[in-house]
Amino acid sequence: MTRLFFIILIIGGYLASGSAQSPGWADELLNRYDRYKEKSIEDRRFKHAEMAPFITGLSGRSCFEVKERGKSIEGRPIYLVKYGDGPVKVLLWSQMHGDEPTATMALLDLFNFLKADDEYNDLRALIRKELTLYVLPMLNPDGAESFQRRNAIDVDINRDALRLQTPEGKLLKKIRDEVDAEWGFNLHDQSKYNSVGTTSGEATFSFLAPAYDEEKNINEVRKNAMQMISGLNRWLQQYIPGQVGRFDDTFEPRAFGDNMQKWGTRTILIECGGMDGDPEKQKIRRLHFGLFLVAFDAIARKSYEAQSIQSYQELDYNNRRLFDLLIRDAKLVENGKSYTMDLAFSRNENHINSSRNFYYSSSISDMGDLSTHNAYEELFASGYTIEPGKTYPSVVSSYSALKNMNFKDLHSQGYTDVKLSNLPEKKDTDRLPFRVHASNAKTPKNKVRIGENPSFFLVRDGKKEYVVVNGFLYKM
Ligand SMILES: [Zn+2]
């Protein structure tokens, strides 16, 4: 195919999309995502100092205007990025919760897209002509610094919309009033353990048109937000069928989303949850990038008006019923009695290296009959008996000596835990099929109880076939 023909195809698709909610160009754009991905940031724990040069570097380029509009408690600049000069004002703010960075990453990709010069110039021109974007990327840079939800004085900025005590919340309110935005995008991450209703699908995205009163009334403003979500959901379902949910719509008088809606800004909450095989949320980031452009297109063409609020109302609510690992129907023997048992593990992230990295420490988060629950990884273990692992009898001198040991042999002899005289960083050991302890630590009992992190084998007909260590399942 010649390049020209290719371009004609794209433009053709773009024009033909008309008022359809899923524009024809969006698929191709996602295929070309790599062109726009900001590759200096590729994991969730990036800091303000890593992002700031990119943002300030936009200033004066391709119709961007960048201004430092405030500072966080610890003095980190908060930027407002402006793009376009159209009549419809759209305000987007990301990462008001410091450990919720997926949308910030997608915004960087969006900026790369907007400053590029290629076959999507028509789309850029449409956005600039119809909309003015006002973007606050990383509203809570201090929270991002320690990868925590709250700001530096431990206030949840999203519960500060009325009292306005945090400089970050105050700034958001000030910008909203100044801009008097018609549309608002409130950008967050949610727990990866949310499923879509009672289905096994993880809620990779959840939406909400926040309520502006206790009665959850629907005025024109909230109705438009619902219509927009109906269209965004329809677009997303092509890529992640069954993985879009609805966030709890209880009115929260102190939250920004709810108040924005009340103040007359059509507000859409977007929550990025989990996705199988995407721990750093890079696949979700890509979809989020597409989502922004689909939304802007819908605003510019007013195509959201053709959407029903019913398909928004039919979205299943989030339901926190997922785990990382679920072993179903195993046999647990205690004091000579045997029990049919489902065991669920959650893998918790522990910060290290000033929260720039993490290691997993897992624990049993539920057990018993978990037939109403699901997990990212499941094993149907009927016929298998749980056998606790043992600790290797002698202390191993070094990490390199440990890594040279034959794990398979040790497993077949029933060992899952080892004591080391020199402990390496935990991040180096969290994915080993062995749990590593200090030489003076208590010998682990590997008891199967909630809150514990037992290592054990799954044994069938006297043969050890699986081993579970630190919440990870290994086939032997
Ligand atoms: Zn949040």
- Ligand 1 centre to CA of 239 (Å) is 24
What separation in Å is there between the alpha carbon of 2 and the centre of ligand 1? 46
Per-residue model confidence (pLDDT) at position 22: 64
- Please give the pLDDT value at position 360: 95
- Can you point out the beta strands (E) in 28-149? 64-71, 77-83, 88-94, 131-136
Distance (angstroms) between ligand 1 centre and the Cα of 127 equals 27
Global pTM value? 0.93
What integer pLDDT is reported at residue 424 of this predicted model?
81
Going from the Cα of 188 to the center of ligand 1, the distance in angstroms, rounded, reads 4
pLDDT mean for each 10 residues of the chain (476 residues): 40 40 83 98 98 95 92 98 97 98 98 96 97 98 98 98 98 97 98 97 98 97 98 97 97 96 97 98 98 98 97 97 98 97 97 94 98 98 98 93 91 96 84 92 95 98 97 96
With CA atoms as reference, report the closest residue to 88 among 133, 135, 134, 131.
131
How many angstroms separate the alpha carbon of residue 27 from the centre of ligand 1? 28
What is the structure's pLDDT at 9? 42
Please give the DSSP secondary-structure letter assigned to residue 43.
S
Q: pLDDT value at position 2?
A: 38
Residues 9 and 476: their CA atoms lie apart, in Å, by: 52
> Cα of 194 to ligand 1 centre, how many Å?
14
Specify the pLDDT at position 167: 98
Q: How far is the CA of 89 from the centre of ligand 1 (A)?
A: 23
Return the bridge partners of 378, or none. 326
Q: What is the CA(94)–ligand 1 centre distance, in A?
A: 9
Give the model's pLDDT for residue 6: 41
Centre of ligand 1 to C-alpha 191, Å, is 10
Q: Which domains does the chain have, with CATH numbers?
A: 3-320 (3.40.630.10), 322-475 (2.30.40.10)
Our CA angle for 146, 80, 143, nearest 5°, is 10
